[in-house]
Structure 1
Amino acid sequence: MPPAAPSPIRRRSRLGTELRQLREAAGLTGDQVIDRIGWASASKLSRLENGRSRPDPQDVQRLLDLYGASEAKQKKLLGFTHEAADMRGWLKKFPAMTQQQRGFAELEAGCAEISEYGPVLVPGLLQTTGYARLRISSAQQIDQEAGEPEIGEDTEAEIAARLARQELLKQDTDPPHYTAVLEEAALSSRAGPPDVLREQVNQLRELSMLPNVTLHVLLRETPLDQQWYLPPTAFSLYRFTDPQDPETLAIEGGFTDVMSTEVIALNRYKVVFERLRTAALSEQDTYHWLTKSLGRLSGTATPSNLASGSATAPAQRRGSSGRLTER
């Protein structure tokens, strides 16, 4: 069944695609639609069909009438319009949400499965307050040194918004299955001072015990037959509860992110993610590696006495190692 709170960004995309298909089936060009409806700008229809604007129910109704859509189709697409346009109910879950973090939260909403690869940074859904503060403030320093105007909200607001997004993994009802492959470098001394890393490693250790979270650490030293490919950037794969919502690939390119629903690109990155997951430590070995790392960062020879939470490694979950491409 469709999720109770579907992804607004995916609803806009679905709505735009189906409106474009209806227009083409009616044999109308974009210019003809603009003339008949009387819109002042041709870009309005383009933004709507490409899912780049928040749809207005009255605008959508006029298009549906023009295209001669069936009653069932109208009911369906007007429902999409409401879910994509009315953000108030959806944002109640994120009282601290900022504009910068909203795009990520919209994409993550309604997900059945999220898979992420972090080559040099811990993904946002796993970051602690200290780690997030370091990442956000350092990016702002780059903007200032580059002579760019300050972008987004203040640091603390961004941190609060990022932490609000993380509640997705702990929600009581149908949390997404989350899998991450982290390069060892993301937790090395270059990633932050010892106190920040200690807090971050401890949080990863605790999150790995959640039944819907699977973490893998990819060590610097791996067998030669597994060093076949080094992804140049971090990336994320999103599969939604509603099977009609297209799977989405997000590629993190430093200061610019790219999103795609192209099937060929998605399949390539699914294969890459599976190879990375296979080359990384198993779920249980990752838990033990995190425990030992916590001990080293705490300056003790008995890390198991210092780590908070359960001292038992997460059990192997049925189906947790299944291939993304098969799901």
Structure 2
Amino acid sequence: MTQSDPTVRSQELGDELRTLREANALSLVDAARRIDASGSKLSRIETGISAPSAEDVSGLLVLYGVNGEKRRELLALARESERRGWWQRNHPGFAERQRTLVSLEAKADSIVNFEPIVVPGLLQTGEYTRAIMRDSGVVPEPQIEARMVTRLHRHAVLRREHPPKLLAVMDELVLKRPIGGPEVLRRQIEYLLEACTMPNVTIRIVPNDGRAHAGVDGAFTVLRRSGMSAVIFAETLTSCLFLEDKAEIETYEYVLRTLSERALDQRGSIALMADLARRLDSEESGT
């Protein structure tokens, strides 16, 4: 790991340590002094720029009163903080699995999300998200509302003062899959049209021309932060995958280029979505 290119693990560890320090009402200088370090060193650790030693992290955890499973988890993260690529299999809860993604989205300058099946999470309406979870049958009913709220909280990143740029690329079939029924789909498409008025949001649709395209292997997100390597995010039912290897990143960037060659531009995508919304509205009204 170089000082300009932190790993996902080092950023996660830094976020956790900063949250713990703030919860203990300690300044950077005060906390650093207690482990015989400088404030600048602790700042680099908290931003993920420097990989900390297990001894430094151990000292901080004692200072912050952290023990038990949480202590073991953070010390393991410290020992692996220079490793690139992270298959998160030890986060059983949905909110825990989303934590690293939310953090990376908050730091990103640009986000590119390709989706072949459903609307990208950052652009889903609440009722659409709820319908996905309910119709799929894989989310227990008591967990649906909490998961929906967790996902909707991610939307705030697009409306903050200095938001990342979002490019959402979707297969046309996403817009024709009536998740939640025609009314829910129509309102979802109308929300996408509204999102297109935001200066930091671009939506491009890959038309259904009957041919396979480069995105047939599934959804993924590319997160970029100025001066750092991109991170690829992919999700399964039970785990999250963060790819940082240069060759893997190049493969996904190639896929994005080929998808972009096939996709309609934003103007064409807006026209397609508006037409679909009108058709759904007409079907609802029976005209």
Higher-Rg member (1/2)? 1
SS at structure 2 position matched to 1:155: helix
Q: Alpha-carbon deviation of 1:207?
A: 0.4
Structure 1 residue 159, shift from structure 2 partner: 1.9
Residue 163 of structure 1 aligns with which residue? 152
Residue correspondence of structure 1 range 132-151 to structure 2 within 5 A: 132-139=129-136, 141-142=137-138
C-alpha distance in structure 2 between counterparts of 1:15 and 1:185, whole Å? 36
Alignment root-mean-square deviation, CA: 3.7
User: Which residue is equivalent to 1:247?
Assistant: 230
User: How many residues end up aligned between the 2 structures?
Assistant: 227
Correspondences of 1:141-220 after superposition (within 5 Å) = 141-142=137-138, 154-171=143-160, 173-220=161-208
Give ranges in structure 1 of 5+ residues lacking alignment: 1-9, 17-50, 86-96, 145-149, 301-327
Matched-pair contact (CA < 8 Å) for 1:184–1:219: yes
**In structure 1, how many angstroms separate the alpha carbons of the residues matched to 2:236 and 2:95?**
21
> Match for residue 261 of structure 2?
278
- The separation in 1 between residues aligned to 2:251 and 2:150, in whole angstroms, is 31
Q: Give the residue type in structure 1 aligned to 2:157.
A: L
Q: Please tell me whether the aligned partners of residues 175 and 212 of structure 1 are also in contact (alpha carbons under 8 angstroms).
A: yes
Q: 1:13–1:189: structure 2 CA closer, same or farther, 3 Å change rule?
A: closer
Given candidates 74, 90, 114, the residue that maps to 2:41 is 74
The residue aligned with 2:89 is: none
- Deviation track 1:16-72 (CA, whole Å, cap 9, x = no partner) reads 9xxxxxxxxxxxxxxxxxxxxxxxxxxxxxxxxxx49934779x969x86xxx8x58
Q: Aligned equivalents of 1:269 and 1:77: distance in 2?
A: 30
Q: Distance in 2 between matches of 1:78 and 1:229?
A: 38
Structure 2 CA distance for partners of 1:79 and 1:259, relative to 1, 3 Å: closer
Specify which of 115, 128, 131 is matched with residue 112 of structure 2.
115
What amino acid is aligned across from residue 13 of structure 1 in structure 2? Answer: R
Q: Are the structure 2 counterparts of residues 291 and 98 from structure 1 closer, same or farther at C-alpha, using a change threshold of 3 Å?
A: same
Structure with bigger RCO (C-alpha 8 Å, 6+ apart): 2
Q: CA deviation at 1:237?
A: 0.3
Matched, 1:237 2:222: yes
Note the C-alpha offset of 1:219.
1.3
Shift of 1:12: 6.6
Letter in 2 for 1:163: L
The offset of 1:230, in angstroms, is 4.0
2:21 is equivalent to residue 54 of structure 1: no
Cα pair 1:235 1:249 within 8 Å, conserved: yes
Query: Does 2:126 match 1:129?
Result: yes
Identity %: 25
Cα 1:12–1:282 change in 2 (3 A) is closer
Alpha-carbon distance change, 138 to 174 in structure 1, aligned in 2, over 3 angstroms: same
- Describe the SS at the equivalent of 2:138: helix
1:201 offset after TM fit, Å? Answer: 0.4
Q: Offset at 1:143?
A: 5.3
**Given that residues 132 and 180 in structure 2 are in contact (C-alpha distance below 8 angstroms), is that contact kept between their aligned partners in structure 1?**
no
Q: Aligned partners of 2:16 and 2:46: how far apart in 1? A: 14
Q: Is the 8 A contact 2:169 2:203 kept in 1?
A: yes
Q: CA deviation at 1:215?
A: 0.3
Please give the residue correspondences for 1:81-100 in structure 2 after superposition, counting only pairs within 5 Å. Answer: 98-99=95-96
User: Cα gap change, 1:297/1:111 in structure 2, threshold over 3 Å: closer, same or farther?
Assistant: same
- TM-score when scaled to structure 1? 0.59
Q: Which residue of 2 aligns with 1:264?
A: 247
Distance in 2, matches of 1:13 and 1:230, equals: 27
What TM-score does the superposition give when structure 2 sets the normalisation length?
A: 0.67
User: Using a 3 Å threshold, how does the CA distance of structure 1 residues 270 and 155 change in structure 2: closer, same or farther?
Assistant: same
Structure 2 residue identity aligned to 1:54: E
CA distance, structure 1, for counterparts of residue 45 and residue 221 of structure 2: 30
* Runs of at least 5 residues in structure 2 that lack an aligned partner in the other structure: 1-5, 22-27, 49-59, 61-93
